[in-house]
Amino acid sequence: MLYPKMNSARTVLDLSGIWNFRLDNGKGFEESWMNRPFEEWETMAVPASYNDQKVGTAFRDHYGWVFYQKTFQVPSLLRSQRILLHFGSVTHYAKVYLNGELIAEHKGGFLPFEREIQDLVKEGDNLLCVAVDNKVDFSTLPVGNESAQAMFGSEIPDFDSVRKTKLAPQNYPNFDFFNYAGIHRPVKIYTTPGEYIQDIILVTDVQGEEGRVSYEISCYGQGTPKIEIVDEEGQTVAEGSGEKGTLAIKKVKLWQPGKAYLYTAKVTFKEDRYEETFGVRTVEVKGDQFLINGRPFYFKGCGKHEDSENHGRGLDEVLNVKDISLMKWLGANSFRTSHYPYSEEMLDLCDREGIVVIDETPAVGLNFPNILQDWYKELSRTKEHHEEVIRDLISRDKNHPCVVMWSIANEPDTAARAQSAYDYFMPLYHLAHACDPQDRPVTLVVCNNDYTKDLVAPAMDVICMNRYYGWYIFGGNLDAARQAMEYEMDYWKSKNKPVIITEYGADTVAGLHGATPNMFTEEYQVDYYETMNKILDSCPFVRGEHVWNFADFATIQGVMRVDGNKKGLLTRDRRPKLAAHYFRNRWKNIPNFNYKKK
């Protein structure tokens, strides 16, 4: 699916703005709210989460369906075109109605979907209604618990006053970020000619000074597509025609981390045209090295979230630009789209800014060792959806030069049910490889568990691990944390694979100081990172450090979280804590390439 772009053959109309909105009171479907304009409504901005746009727990903690409505007209001069309705993402389940008719359904809150509507739109007003469900359970990604008991397990005390309390249905996410919901990314109407370009696949390689671009163009209709490669100065550097081929770019300028260079593939097919930007670069894992353009790369950066005040998880391009600027200020060169696919707008920005991305599926929360005997076997519903999101993610992001690796999951249980985990994840690992025309490395991010039992982590192309010695394990005792981390690193050094620490961190309340560095103080966060970084520096096979987290972020309420997760180097409103200055100093002195001599 090509991202909607406007050019001389295609028009894009954006339906962003204020929509009419209703929380379902249990009667939305029964009373067919989708069939006619709401009689009563609230205003709601799109794109954004609905949770924090209004005051009160009714919105913040709503469980189940909500309904959005918007009326639009299609300009008559577009009526001869193929017309599509495109959603960047709706979290987590969407039913789309046009003039009362159900025209699309989509499961999964972080990837786009669209539907042709030229035969469905009428003259004058068209009523668009989107019903959105935020429920998470064992069949969704991310995974939710189906009951409070499942979530809190033995922590719920078993005595009358507790047992007899009726809990209203609510979401029990099995993940540590607020379950924001709504229409999170733009809704667009766009047109193409009747015969059109369906997809473009670009794979690049480098031979000496020459870049090679293999292309594959799929079209609807009879005819021959043409392709022209244009450089940043607007010069045509290569041309070809046909559905498949390989073009050469002489004296190619590479896409480099921190130094992006983008070419544009201008594709034409009959009346249709599409411009796809791309970079020429290679990615490869060799022994324990991660090579970009043949040189050993060192990942400096963070795990993140799409998360901010008022917008929740909704697309916020101002914030995206600011975040990349702050990453550069920190001296970072990369991040992981923890724990779900980020917007295409963010990936476009990273392409332009030269920021390296590890692109993750929404498979987080596959971890209930205490609840089900062998839950991998019971999760067939998740597996099917898991395959679908891997396919759709790679299909969406395949041409982005910023994406250098796929992460198929975050912190599943890979130790307690080691063999089942292996049987569940290896087919997904192979699927990711098979789906990617560029065949990038594939990983899965593992948690702080009994690593000696883990069969999955060592089977990945890159071993990615989240480690919390000094926080969840040996919290407050950095000497013990150091010993545990050193001991564990000794285990990984023999695997001859790159290791990236994809998360490590300590909750830190901005402004809380202590000459004695106790947990939660800004000083403890710095001491913690200094302790861990000394170890990472001493391990040649450690090829990257991603702190947890770039910024503080919202989570479910609970005794573990004081107004959200506070492991950010920055506060939620992007003010630096002490540790941000510490990393700025460190990362400015770590080069992107050849950091670890070997």
503: contact with ligand BDP by CB under 6 A: yes
Min. distance of Cβ 555 from ligand BDP in angstroms?
7
Task: Give the interface size with ligand BDP as a residue count (CB under 6 A).
Answer: 10
Which residue number, 192 or 443, has a Cβ lying nearer to ligand BDP? 443
414: contact with ligand BDP by CB under 6 A: no
Contact letters for ligand BDP, residues 371-410 (x by CB under 6 A):
---------------------------------------x
552: contact with ligand BDP by CB under 6 A: no
Which residue number, 273 or 572, has a Cβ lying nearer to ligand BDP? 572
Per the CB < 8 A criterion, the answer to whether 150 and 368 are in contact is yes
Min. distance of Cβ 553 from ligand BDP in angstroms?
8
548: contact with ligand BDP by CB under 6 A: yes
191: contact with ligand BDP by CB under 6 A: no
566: contact with ligand BDP by CB under 6 A: no
Give the whole-angstrom CA distance, residue 252 versus residue 240: 17
Dihedral, CA of residue 14, residue 19, residue 22 and residue 27, to nearest 10: -60
Per the CB < 8 A criterion, the answer to whether 87 and 114 are in contact is yes
| Residue of 69, 82, 84 whose CA lies nearest to 3 | 84
Min. distance of Cβ 508 from ligand BDP in angstroms?
11
Which residue number, 268 or 508, has a Cβ lying nearer to ligand BDP? 508
533: contact with ligand BDP by CB under 6 A: no
| Residue of 50, 34, 33 whose CA lies nearest to 42 | 50
33: contact with ligand BDP by CB under 6 A: no
Give the whole-angstrom CA distance, residue 517 versus residue 528: 9
Q: Which helix (H) or strand (E) holds 23?
A: strand 17-23
Give start and end residues of each alpha helix (H) in 47-147: 57-60
519: contact with ligand BDP by CB under 6 A: no
Give the whole-angstrom CA distance, residue 497 versus residue 463: 7
**Chosen residue from 277, 333, 407, 565 binding ligand BDP by CB under 6 A:** 565
- Of the residues 503, 522, 530, 545, only one is catalytic, namely 503
Q: Which helix (H) or strand (E) holds 352?
A: helix 344-353
Min. distance of Cβ 561 from ligand BDP in angstroms?
9
Which residue number, 502 or 533, has a Cβ lying nearer to ligand BDP? 502
Tokens for 585, please give them: 């100093």
Q: What are phi and psi of 353, to 5 degrees?
A: -95, -5
178: contact with ligand BDP by CB under 6 A: no
461: contact with ligand BDP by CB under 6 A: no
Applying the rule CB under 6 A, the residues between 71 and 110 that interact with ligand BDP are: none
How many whole angstroms from its chain centre is CA 89?
12
Give the whole-angstrom CA distance, residue 529 versus residue 390: 33
Which residue number, 133 or 176, has a Cβ lying nearer to ligand BDP? 176
Tokens for 52, please give them: 């924090």
466: contact with ligand BDP by CB under 6 A: yes
Min. distance of Cβ 501 from ligand BDP in angstroms?
12
What is the chain's percent helix, strand, coil content, to nearest 5?
25, 30, 45
Tokens for 329, please give them: 């200020």
Contact letters for ligand BDP, residues 322-341 (x by CB under 6 A):
-----------------x--
Give the whole-angstrom CA distance, residue 233 versus residue 349: 19
| Residue of 139, 179, 144 whose CA lies nearest to 385 | 139
Whether 411 sits among the annotated catalytic residues: the reply is: yes
Min. distance of Cβ 360 from ligand BDP in angstroms?
10
Which residue number, 44 or 519, has a Cβ lying nearer to ligand BDP? 519
Q: What are phi and psi of 470, to 5 degrees?
A: 100, -10
Find all residues with CB under 8 Å of 494, minimum gap 6, and list them.
Answer: none
Helix axes 380-397, 418-435, angle to 10 degrees: 30
**Chosen residue from 13, 219, 319, 447 binding ligand BDP by CB under 6 A:** 447
- Of the residues 306, 344, 411, 545, only one is catalytic, namely 411
Q: How many residues does the chain have?
A: 598
Which residue number, 344 or 503, has a Cβ lying nearer to ligand BDP? 503
Per the CB < 8 A criterion, the answer to whether 304 and 335 are in contact is yes
**Chosen residue from 24, 52, 176, 276 binding ligand BDP by CB under 6 A:** 176
Whether 384 sits among the annotated catalytic residues: the reply is: no
443: contact with ligand BDP by CB under 6 A: no
360: contact with ligand BDP by CB under 6 A: no
Q: What residues line the site for ligand BDP (CB under 6 A)? A: 176, 339, 410-411, 447, 466, 503, 548, 565, 567
Active site residues: 411, 503
